[in-house]
């Protein structure tokens, strides 16, 4: 696919579109966290929301008042905390969550905000899809509800692949290598134009086998500048380099990243 790299100044609203039908994928800079908005003329889908109000502020800045679907991949605060102001202030049609419980105050506030909202609730299973016009969002992991699961929160993290024409983006949340191996073994469609690196570019994710299966043209990580975890890890960056021809972007170095496509070609805009 053809690509064009652009830049936009911080604080400038994104206006217009290259095509009447488009998908914009916003990798929102939320510091050490994850938040990705899928935007078309027909729908808006938010996958994770960071920890604080950054995602909510970004959505209001670009004029988003309604989310058709919100996906909370797992219960860690840097993925669900930002849903609290969103659920309290925006209209959310449906929220997907894997059902696994957690003991933090952030998780309790997330559940409270969800219950107080008008959003429908669903625990999706592998293979489920939802369509918004040309945009199709498909669940690749986990196999079903994690409501009874007592293991690590990353194990049953929701992974989705969004397809728009010939363009696709794989959003992995914090899925780690064991989840990657499971997805490979069950044969779900992994090949994607764009890959959001798992767990903020941590070495716990993005195995060579998984990267080969996805075979992306662009890889994006979401992490805070000088974060205490050292994300993204050097070994993952070297794995990306070994693929050759993969363009690497990260919110720590580029700010918010917006990829726009008509389903055939795409452009990349960075904030910095």
Across the chain, which distance is largest between two alpha carbons, in Å? 48
Share of the chain above pLDDT 70, in %: 93
The pLDDT tens digits of the residues spanning 43-86 come to 999 999 999 999 999 999 999 999 999 999 999 999 999 999 99
Q: Determine contact, residues 193/171, Cβ cutoff 8 Å.
A: no
The per-residue pLDDT for 130 is 98
The pLDDT tens digits of the residues spanning 227-236 come to 999 999 999 9
Q: Determine contact, residues 66/36, Cβ cutoff 8 Å.
A: no
CATH topology for 3-10+20-270 is Metallo-beta-lactamase; Chain A (3.60.15)
Q: Evaluate if residue 135 carries a pLDDT over 60.
A: yes
Q: Evaluate if residue 15 carries a pLDDT over 50.
A: no
Least confident of 17-26, 118-127, 202-211, 263-272: 17-26
Helix, strand, coil distribution of the chain in percent, nearest 5: 25, 30, 45
Strands 23-27 and 257-261: antiparallel
Q: Evaluate if residue 17 carries a pLDDT over 90.
A: no
Residues 6 or more apart whose Cβ sits within 8 Å of residue 234:
none
Query: Any idea where the domains of the chain sit in the sequence?
Result: 3-10+20-270
The mean pLDDT of 189-196, rounded to a whole number, is 98
Mean pLDDT, all residues of the chain: 94
What's the rounded Cα separation, in Å, for the pair 59 and 66? 9
- Which run of H or E residues covers position 120? strand 120-122
């Amino acid at each position: 696919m053809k690509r064009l790299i652009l830049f936009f100044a911080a604080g400038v609203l994104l206006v217009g579109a290259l095509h009447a039908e488009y998908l914009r994928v916003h990798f929102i800079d939320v510091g050490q966290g994850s938040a990705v908005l899928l935007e078309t003329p027909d729908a808006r889908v938010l996958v994770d929301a960071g920890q604080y109000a950054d995602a909510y502020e970004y959505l209001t800045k670009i004029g988003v008042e309604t989310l058709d679907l919100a996906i909370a991949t797992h219960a860690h605060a840097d993925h669900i905390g930002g849903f609290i102001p969103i659920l309290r202030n925006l209209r959310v049609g449906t929220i997907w969550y894997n059902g696994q419980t957690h003991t933090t105050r952030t998780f309790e506030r997330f559940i409270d905000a969800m219950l107080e909202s008008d959003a429908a609730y669903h625990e999706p299973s592998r293979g489920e899809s939802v369509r918004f016009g040309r945009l199709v969002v498909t669940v690749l992991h986990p196999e079903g509800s994690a409501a009874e699961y007592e293991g690590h929160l990353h194990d049953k993290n929701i992974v989705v692949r969004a397809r728009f024409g010939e363009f696709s983006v794989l959003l992995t949340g914090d899925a780690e290598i064991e989840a990657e191996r499971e997805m490979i073994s069950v044969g779900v469609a992994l090949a994607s134009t764009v890959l959001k690196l798992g767990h903020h570019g941590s070495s716990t994710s993005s195995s060579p086998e998984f990267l080969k299966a996805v075979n992306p043209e662009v890889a994006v990580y979401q992490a805070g500048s000088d974060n205490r975890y050292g994300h993204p890890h050097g070994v993952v960056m070297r794995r990306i380099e070994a693929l050759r021809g993969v363009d690497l972007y990260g919110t720590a170095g580029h700010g918010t990243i917006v990829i726009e496509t008509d389903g055939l070609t795409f452009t990349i805009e960075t904030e910095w």
